[in-house]
Amino acid sequence: MVAPGCAINTRLCVDHWGYSSVGRASRSQCEGQGFESPYLHLKILIEFSASTPAREIFVDITERVVAALPSFGEAFTGIVTVFVPHTTAGITINEGADPDVAQDLIDSLARLVPRNAGYRHSEGNSDAHIKASLMGSHVAVAVENGRLRLGTWQSIYLAEFDGPRTRRVWVVATSSRT
């Protein structure tokens, strides 16, 4: 079986095998036909970029995560972890139907964590760091036969607190297959 993630970004597959602590795969293993190691069935990492057009904005990345799922195999069943490798942006799940919910979250976080409050960090973006930690760096979502099992009203949001920028998002699959 070809490890599907490798077709999209071989460098990431190779680089992050060590990071995953599951095991290391060589470039030839990632690109090889008929590779049968259980490791590559267990964890594959996909990266995509997302633009955030304001300093504080929630960007719905649900469809981007859905688009990554075929890379894990047609009938993939397991868990995907959606992870943001940044310190002033987070990942959260909340209502996607009414955009006012995301704006209420942004407004409420701004009240909880004012932009200027005598912080020590000299960069001037301490509020963004704190809000990112409140949201967290990842969410885990079940996938059944290639379908993301979110609740009816749930969306996955990239929560930007120090934009506008281009952010990276990683989707890591943990399969039930052995």
Q: How far is the CB of 135 from Zn ion (least distance, A)?
A: 16
144 makes contact with Zn ion (CB under 5 A)? no
Name the segment binding Zn ion (CB under 5 A); options: 9-17, 37-45, 89-97, 120-128.
120-128
How many residues touch Zn ion under the rule CB under 5 A: the total is: 2
CA distance 151 to 47: 24
Considering only residues 123, 136, 153, 177, which one is a binding residue for Zn ion as defined by CB under 5 A?
123
Residue number with the shortest CB distance to Zn ion? Answer: 123
Q: How far is the CB of 70 from Zn ion (least distance, A)?
A: 36
Q: How far is the CB of 21 from Zn ion (least distance, A)?
A: 28
124 makes contact with Zn ion (CB under 5 A)? no
Name the segment binding Zn ion (CB under 5 A); options: 12-20, 96-104, 119-127, 170-178.
119-127
The residue (of 70 and 114) whose beta carbon lies closer to Zn ion is: 114
Query: DSSP letters of the chain?
Result: ---HHHHH-HHHHHHHHHHHSS----HHHHH-TT---HHHHHEEEEEEEEEE-SSSEEEE-HHHHHHHGGGG-TT--EEEEEE---SSEEEEEEE-S-HHHHHHHHHHHHHHS-S-S--S-TTS-HHHHHHHHHH-SEEEEEEETTEE---TTEEEEEEESS-SEEEEEEEEEEES--
Considering only residues 71, 125, 155, 175, which one is a binding residue for Zn ion as defined by CB under 5 A?
125
Name the 3-class secondary structure at 12: helix
Residues within the interface to Zn ion (CB under 5 A) = 123, 125
